[in-house]
Amino acid sequence: MLHRGMIFAAGAYVASVAFASTTTRAADFYAGRTLTIIVGNDVGGGFDAYARLFARHLSRVIPGQPGLVVQNMPGAGSATATSYIARVAAKDGTVFGAITPGAIVAPLFDDRTRRQYDPDKLIYLTSADSGSRLCVTWHQSAVKSVADAKHTKAVIGAAGAGSSSSDYAKLHRTTSALNFDIVSGYKGTGDILLAMERREVDGFCGVDWASLTSQRPDWIRDGKINLLFEVGVKPNPELTARKVPLVWDSTINPEARAVVELVTSQQDFARPYIMAADNPAEAVKLLRTAFAQLYKDDKFVADAEKSALILSPTSGEEVQAMVGKLYAAPKEIVDAARNVLK
């Protein structure tokens, strides 16, 4: 007859063998392989900075410790990179992407983009940040407030159609009745900020507060930009302390507010990381777990702080649910937003 202690010991042994076997299989999956992070923005911007932060640390927390490289693929507000990941990239768990949330929202309003990929079918690994965006102007601009922007023309720099900088400029021009003249074609955040400094444009809409604090902290410190208004689901305490008005104070009517709420819901997953739908479930689990571990890793957090990169993470499962809710939005609100963003 087996004693209770013997049964417990036997069970513990079986469990330990099963755990060791699972751990070995996980290590085998990525051992000797190289992961590629496709960044849907140009080098030097905020999305690139976050991706390279992850690239410096992810390998440590992925079983098998694979190599990791970053490849920039800017274009069409990250739609180029998203389409590549969804349709072209290897589906073996070795390719994932850092894209703008605008690339997730764009197919909701643009049928051409929807034909390239379906955001509701992508796999979401995490979002590194969720936060506020701003409309800003250079300190020498005649437009220093929302009231000014309603009566005085401001030239607003933007990337290509479908980018957050383009969409937010169009969005606020219509829903807050602002006198914006939008100049598109810049590569990304870094180029638009340089254009402001060179006085090619007055300002920029849809810029992340996290990007400004990491890329141009001196501009904020020295008062080189006017913070016209904040766009966010929840007011940012720092911006509240600076008495930056909220976009809701200037939207022209309830329908305009509903459109702004729909378009800006992307800020709940401000820095998403994605994979194509056909990747192995094991890869998805390993990468989601690795991201979750990093957010609690002292070396990673210290590196983020040193790089002035704000971390406000959301799990892949939560982002997946948010995107599903977004694509279930009422048709009349989607149609109204589509008209605004044309």
* Total domain count, the chain: 2
Same domain, residue pair 244 and 333: no
Of 45-49, 58-62, 161-165, which has the strongest mean pLDDT?
Answer: 58-62
pLDDT at 8 over 90: no
Q: What are the pLDDT digits (tens) for 29-53?
A: 999 999 999 999 999 888 999 999 9
Which band of pLDDT confidence, cut at 50, 70 and 90, is reported for residue 314? Answer: very high
Q: Is pLDDT at 87 greater than 60 in this prediction?
A: yes
Residue 16: predicted pLDDT: 47
Res 189: pLDDT = 87
Residues 288 and 333 in one domain: yes
- pLDDT of the residue at 232: 85
User: Pseudo-torsion of CA 265, 266, 267, 272, nearest 10°?
Assistant: 150
Task: Looking at the structure, tell me whether residues 88 and 114 fall in a common domain.
Answer: yes
pTM metric for this prediction: 0.80
Judgement on whether residues 126 and 140 belong to the same structural domain of the protein: no
Burial class (CB in 10 A: 0-12, 13-18, 19+), 189: buried
Query: Does the pLDDT value for residue 109 go beyond 80?
Result: yes
| CA 39 from centroid of its chain's CA atoms | 11
Categorize the per-residue pLDDT at 6 as very low, low, confident or very high, splitting at 50, 70 and 90: very low
The CATH number for 98's domain is 3.40.190.150
In a domain, 42, yes or no: yes
The answer to whether residue 115 sits within a structural domain is: yes
Is 25 domain-assigned?
A: no
Query: Could you tell me if residue 100 is inside a domain?
Result: yes
Q: What is the pLDDT of residue 24?
A: 52
Q: How confident is the model at residue 2 (pLDDT cuts 50, 70, 90)?
A: very low
Reported as a single tens digit per residue, the pLDDT across 238-259 is: 999 999 999 999 999 999 999 9
77 inside domain = yes
Residue 56 φ/ψ, nearest 5 degrees:
-75, -15
Would you say residue 311 lies in a domain?
yes
Mean pLDDT, the chain, rounded, equals: 91
The answer on 244 and 142 residing in a single domain is yes
Give the mean pLDDT of 294-299. 98
Domain finish residue from 247, 266, 285? 266
pLDDT (average), residues 281-304: 98
- Both 53 and 101 in a single domain? yes
One-letter amino acid identity for 258?
A
- Tell me the residue range of the domain where 162 lies: 133-266
CATH, residue 224? 3.40.190.10
Q: Both 137 and 262 in a single domain?
A: yes
Which alpha helices (DSSP H) does 176-230 contain, by range? 189-197, 209-215, 217-221
Binned at pLDDT 50, 70 and 90, residue 25 comes out as low
Distance CA 62, CA 1 (A): 44
Both 298 and 316 in one domain: the answer is yes
Q: Are residues 327 and 278 in the same domain?
A: yes
Cα distance between residue 315 and residue 319, in whole Å: 6
Per-residue pLDDT reduced to its tens digit, 175-218:
999 999 999 999 888 899 999 999 999 999 999 998 898 889 99
Q: Which of 266, 285, 316 marks a domain boundary?
A: 266
- 228 and 112 both lie in a single domain: no
Domain boundary among 231, 266, 301: 266
Based on the fold, state whether residues 138 and 256 are members of the same structural domain.
yes
Tokens 């998203």 found at = 82
* SS3 assignment, position 185: coil
Residue 15 lies in a domain: no
Q: In what order do the strands lie in the sheet with 123-127?
A: 67-72, 34-39, 95-98, 272-275, 123-127, 314-315
Co-location of 167 and 250 in the same domain: yes
Mean pLDDT calculated for residue range 283-288: 98
95 within some domain: yes
**Of 230, 83, 92, 119, nearest in space to 168 by CA:** 230
Task: Name the least confident of 20-29, 71-80, 168-177.
Answer: 20-29
